[in-house]
């Protein structure tokens, strides 16, 4: 059973292509300005193959959204009444006319049913074609674009067109105008020799967390699983391995999760977990190489703390193929710069998925065309849950440019995607005890998504005390506000490639927070209740008192001091950090 939605809608039937194709003149479907930091390198080879994903409209998405909020609202009688994958797919299925017309259009370009991969809900069609065919289909010209800083290269266009009669039947086609550079949100990595990597307390006096729990003084400089459980009032929680609870972690960009490193980590931090493991699921041919030299810092951080917090809950690591750079002067068969969407396609097709999934990857919202961002966000609505660390553009303040890609070159705070999607739970970062906002904990307000109703009270209260005119023009005050919550994000002690060291970033905060959500699910399942599903409506209402309010610190950027942490919700630490014991009491009473 998946953590999804609840309603009954008749499944839309698939309609095959008509024997003859309708024709109409081309009209521009989408156009973007040449993106900052990307320059045309060369013409794209006409034989270079592109995997095009065609998103068909979901005419009943408003119904899906309505039911999502109903089953996620603890004050609603349908709270927790999650339904099956098939019932959700019935809601998002496209209209039969859209299926017919798009299939007919593809057939007119020699693309038959055997060449099309359809999503379970029929709302996505995937084809692989040479550039010369894509250019004809979309009345466009592809180029190889090169990123001036990283050297990454991709095959893209800044505009594409469709026959007029198809405009209402196709939401988006990508890769065309997407210039996102999928990246993890690590901001600091500090390594030291494994023989000297000892945890040293600055004093012998225990600290008291905001939850009123005693915390070892060493946690101020070195964060361990024990530190996090002390800090967030979870030391007395013993999860079960036998109640069908589950926890998932995503991996991209050849970030391999190393089994040996995990065992070394367990030996020091979670002795009871030694010799336990996790399931690896390959997406689109993703690998998980076990050579120590290939151990991924992001992947190891995620599995060590994510699975360390949740042991013995069933854990899954999704390794998704695809990694830049694409080399434009080689005969590369396909361009694999968009692994994130490959994972979303895969997970939406599964009958069973983890009850909590954490991801620490994304990019500036503006590098993802709005049409594509909204369709990807709709995918998260189908899942009913998501967790993503949020930063403020480039985590290094020295390289933040904060310049828009809309042709105006304005200075602006740049929100991140998918954290800006209102159907995921975005996680900011803190540091030390007592906790303060860590300086790389970004946040702000989406330019694509309006503020969801569940945020109205908390965000309106923030603006009541926000000085008028502050950062005027640098952010959209009516946008979806991020982050939602926060957790520790720096000085995490990890084992990577056989060596012990410290690592940080909102990449650390996301698996940490998600791990504690899995513990809360454990308590609900033991009580005979369904899993939490989509978290945000609960967090902003009934469970709001289950967070430790962070009121100090700020996240500078774009030549400013950035937003400050303050009383109540703020765009640095959200509602605050979890008091797991209190949250369990709250959510097992509804």
**Annotated binding-site residue? 189:** no
Strands 314-320 and 279-283: parallel
Alpha-carbon torsion, ordered 345, 346, 348, 352, to 10 deg: 180
- Which of 135, 302, 338, 412 is labelled catalytic? 302
CA distance 421 to 77: 26
Q: Name 395's Cβ contacts closer than 8 Å, sequence gap at least 6.
A: 185, 186, 187, 188, 440, 442, 505
Can you tell me the distance from the alpha carbon of 144 to that of 155, in angstroms, rounded to the nearest whole number?
Answer: 4
- Asked about 42 being catalytic, the answer comes back as no
Choosing from 45, 161, 507, 510, the catalytic residue is 507
Distance CA 475, CA 410 (A): 11
**Number of other CB atoms surrounding residue 229 within 10 Å:** 21
| Residues 493 and 197 sit within 8 Å (Cβ to Cβ) | yes
Place of tokens 């949250």: 583
Helix extents (H) in 48-180: 61-72, 85-92, 96-108, 131-138
The 3-state DSSP class for residue 196 equals helix
Q: Which residue has the tokens 């361990």?
A: 224
Inter-residue contact 558 to 394 (CB < 8 Å): no
Catalytic residue among 298, 335, 338, 364: 298
> Per the annotation, does 550 bind a ligand?
yes
Alpha helix segments (H runs only) across 465-505: none
Cα dihedral 149, 444, 417, 40 sign: negative
Q: Give the three-class secondary structure for 477.
A: coil
Q: For residues 117 and 112, what is the distance between their CA atoms, to the nearest angstrom? A: 11
Q: Identify the residue whose tokens are 């640095």.
A: 572
Under 8 Å between Cβ of 448 and 532: no
Our CA angle for 310, 316, 321, nearest 5°, is 140
Task: Confirm whether 302 is a catalytic residue.
Answer: yes
* Cβ atoms < 10 Å from Cβ of 555: 28
Nearest-CA neighbor of 27 among 141, 129, 164, 190?
164
User: In this structure, how many other beta carbons lie within 10 angstroms of the beta carbon of residue 37?
Assistant: 16
Which two three-digit tokens encode residue 109?
């370009």
Q: Is 58 exposed, middle or buried (0-12, 13-18, 19+ CB in 10 A)?
A: buried
Give the integer Cα–Cα distance in Å for 94 and 11. 10
DSSP, collapsed to helix, strand or coil, labels residue 410 as coil
Q: Is 6 a catalytic residue?
A: no
- Buried/exposed 389-407: b ≥16 CB within 10 Å, e otherwise: bbbbbbbebeebebbbbee
Q: Annotated binding residue at 568? A: yes
- Is 570 marked as binding a ligand? yes
CA-to-CA distance for 56 and 208, rounded, in angstroms? 53
Tell me which DSSP letter residue 545 carries. Answer: G
Q: Pairing relation of β-strands 117-118 and 143-147?
A: unpaired
3-class DSSP assignment, residue 271 = helix
**Positions marked catalytic:** 298, 302, 507
Query: Binding site for Ca(2+): what residues are annotated?
Result: 549-550, 568, 570
Binding site members: 549-550, 568, 570
């Amino acid at each position: 059973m998946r953590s999804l939605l609840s309603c009954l809608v008749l499944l839309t039937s698939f309609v095959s292509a008509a024997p003859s194709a309708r024709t109409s003149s081309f009209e521009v479907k989408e156009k973007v300005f040449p993106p900052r930091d990307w320059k045309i390198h060369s013409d794209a080879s006409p034989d270079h193959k592109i995997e095009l994903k065609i998103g068909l409209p979901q005419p009943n998405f408003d119904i899906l959204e309505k039911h999502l909020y109903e089953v996620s609202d603890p004050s609603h009688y349908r709270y927790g009444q999650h339904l099956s994958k098939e019932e959700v797919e019935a809601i998002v299925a496209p209209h039969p006319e859209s299926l017919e017309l798009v299939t007919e259009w593809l057939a007119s370009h020699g693309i038959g049913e055997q060449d099309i991969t359809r999503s379970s809900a029929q709302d996505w069609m995937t084809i692989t074609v040479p550039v010369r065919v894509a250019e004809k289909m979309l009345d466009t010209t592809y180029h190889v674009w090169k990123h001036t800083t990283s050297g990454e290269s991709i095959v893209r266009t800044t505009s594409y067109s469709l026959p007029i009669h198809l405009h209402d039947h196709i939401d988006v086609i990508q890769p065309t105008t997407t210039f996102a550079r999928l990246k993890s949100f690590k901001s600091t990595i500090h390594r030291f020799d494994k023989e000297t990597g000892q945890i040293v307390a600055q004093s012998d006096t225990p600290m008291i967390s905001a939850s009123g729990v005693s915390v070892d003084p060493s946690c101020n400089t070195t964060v361990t699983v024990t530190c996090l459980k002390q800090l967030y009032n979870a030391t007395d929680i013993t999860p079960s391995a036998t109640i069908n609870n589950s926890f998932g972690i995503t991996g991209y960009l050849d970030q391999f999760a190393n089994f040996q490193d995990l065992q070394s980590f367990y030996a020091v931090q979670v002795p009871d977990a030694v010799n336990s493991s996790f399931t690896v699921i390959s997406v689109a041919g993703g690998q998980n190489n076990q050579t120590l030299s290939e151990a991924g810092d992001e992947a190891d951080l995620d599995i060590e703390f994510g699975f360390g917090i949740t042991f013995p809950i069933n854990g899954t690591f999704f390794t998704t193929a695809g990694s830049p750079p694409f080399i434009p002067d080689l005969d590369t068969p396909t361009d694999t710069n968009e692994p994130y969407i490959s994972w979303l396609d895969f997970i939406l097709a599964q009958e069973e998925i983890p009850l909590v999934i954490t991801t620490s990857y994304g990019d500036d919202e503006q590098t993802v065309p709005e049409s594509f961002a909204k369709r990807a966000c709709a995918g998260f609505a189908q899942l009913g849950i998501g967790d993503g660390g949020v930063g403020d553009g480039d985590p290094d303040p020295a390289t933040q440019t904060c310049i828009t890609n809309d042709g105006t070159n304005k200075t602006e705070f740049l929100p991140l995607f998918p954290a800006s999607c209102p159907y995921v739970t975005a996680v900011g970062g803190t540091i030390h005890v007592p906790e303060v906002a860590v300086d790389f904990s970004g946040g702000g307000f989406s330019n694509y998504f309006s503020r969801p109703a569940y945020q109205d009270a908390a965000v309106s209260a923030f603006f009541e005390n926000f000085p008028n005119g502050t950062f005027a023009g640098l952010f959209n005050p009516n946008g979806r506000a991020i982050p939602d919550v926060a957790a520790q994000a720096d000085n995490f002690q990890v084992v990577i490639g056989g060596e012990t060291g410290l690592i940080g970033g909102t990449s650390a905060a996301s698996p940490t927070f998600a791990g504690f959500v899995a513990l809360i699910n454990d308590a609900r399942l033991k009580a005979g209740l369904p899993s939490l599903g989509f978290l945000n409506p609960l967090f902003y209402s009934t469970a709001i008192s289950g967070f430790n309010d962070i009121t100090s610190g700020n996240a500078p950027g774009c030549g400013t001091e950035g937003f400050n942490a303050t009383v109540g919700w703020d765009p640095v630490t959200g509602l605050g950090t979890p008091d797991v014991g209190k949250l369990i009491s709250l959510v097992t009473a509804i």
